[in-house]
Structure 1
Amino acid sequence: MRAILSRQKSDDQQTLGKLEVFDANDQKVFECKTLELDWQNNARRESCIPTGTYKVTSRRSVKYGSHFLINDVPKRDTILIHQGNYHKDILGCILVGEKHTDINRDGYLDVTASKATLKKLTTIAPKGFSLTIL
């Protein structure tokens, strides 16, 4: 499986995007919205990760349950795809959700239905995928 994360809009706090997942026949099998921190020169715990292609593997933890680890990110470690709604929920990871909307009315778009969206993604790609970030 392969996935493409298209970054669509960035501001002083965050980056909004769209994640599309394709099967072995190159058919789109899943799509969702993403939320990352804004670009801060790949600074640890302050920035989204660089564009590029990464191997993503499944992972489980007490804190996040089933989620994904993005491997071999330059100068970074433990970059995850996990549930959460707000840019304040992340330290460089990627959140997934159903749509972008300002849930908490702070002026920044968030992602909705993150837990359910992540569950769908882990069901579709239980072993992981190749991720290209544009």
Structure 2
Amino acid sequence: MVVVLNRSYFPEGTQGFLEWNGILVCYTIELPWLENQRRISCIPEGEYVLQKRFSPKFKWHLHLQNVPGRDFILIHPANDATKELLGCIAPLTIQTGIGKGSGSRKALEKLKAIVYKALANNEEVKIRIQSKKIVL
């Protein structure tokens, strides 16, 4: 199973939307692209395996495996990329500005329902991160 994250890059942050089987699951925010620098940049485009992860801070969330030059890249709740993210991806229900949004916990629950079901069926789940050109 592959979920697809389509990104648009801005100096203040990275906006995206996540799809599964061509259907919108949620929106996303990330830090801006700053050459994959730890803690201040979003991660490189590519395909990464997703795994379930638990932490006291985020409870159950998702972990991207084998990100080049990075570790502990997560998909976890956050509504402001610059204040709450260190290279991770935050799902959103609504984007309210570059690197900002709301309804992150609700969006994560929706994403987890899809991903965790596939993992329970012993499917490998990947996220494909790619650039999405905006057509005006």
TM over 0.5: yes
- Alignment-derived partner of residue 105 in structure 1: none
Q: 2:107 aligns with which of 99, 113, 117?
A: 117
Name the counterpart of 1:49. Answer: 43
Q: One-letter code of the match for 1:121?
A: L
TM-score, length basis structure 1: 0.85
**Structure-2 residue corresponding to 1:20:** 19
Q: 2:35 aligned with 1:36, yes or no?
A: no
Amino acid corresponding to residue 21 of structure 1 in structure 2 = W
Q: Is 1:98 aligned to residue 93 of structure 2?
A: yes
Secondary structure in structure 1 of the residue aligned to 2:125? strand
List structure 1 runs of 4+ shifted beyond 4 angstroms: none
1:28-72 deviations in Å (ceiling 9; x for gaps): 455210000000100000100000111011111110011000000
After TM superposition, the structure 1 stretch with the greater mean CA deviation from structure 2, 67-76 or 121-130, is 121-130
Give the unaligned 5+ runs of structure 2: 131-136
- How far is 1:111 from its partner? 2.1
Q: Which has the higher helix share?
A: 2
Distance 2:3 2:74 in 1: 15
Superposition CA RMSD, Å: 1.5
Whole-Å separation in 1 of the counterparts to 2:128 and 2:10: 21
CA distance in 2, matches of 1:66, 1:89: 17
Q: Which residue identity does 1:129 align to in structure 2? A: V
Aligned-pair distance for 1:13? 2.4
Query: How many residues end up aligned between the 2 structures?
Result: 123
Percent identity at matched positions?
37
- The reply to whether residue 81 of structure 1 matches residue 63 of structure 2 is no
Displacement of 1:19: 0.5
Structure 2 residue 125 is the aligned partner of structure 1 residue 129: yes
Asked whether the equivalents of residues 50 and 63 of structure 2 are also in contact (C-alpha less than 8 Å), the reply is yes
Inter-partner Cα distance in structure 1 for 2:60 and 2:20: 18
* 2:11 matches 1:2: no
- One-letter identity of the residue aligned with 2:25: E
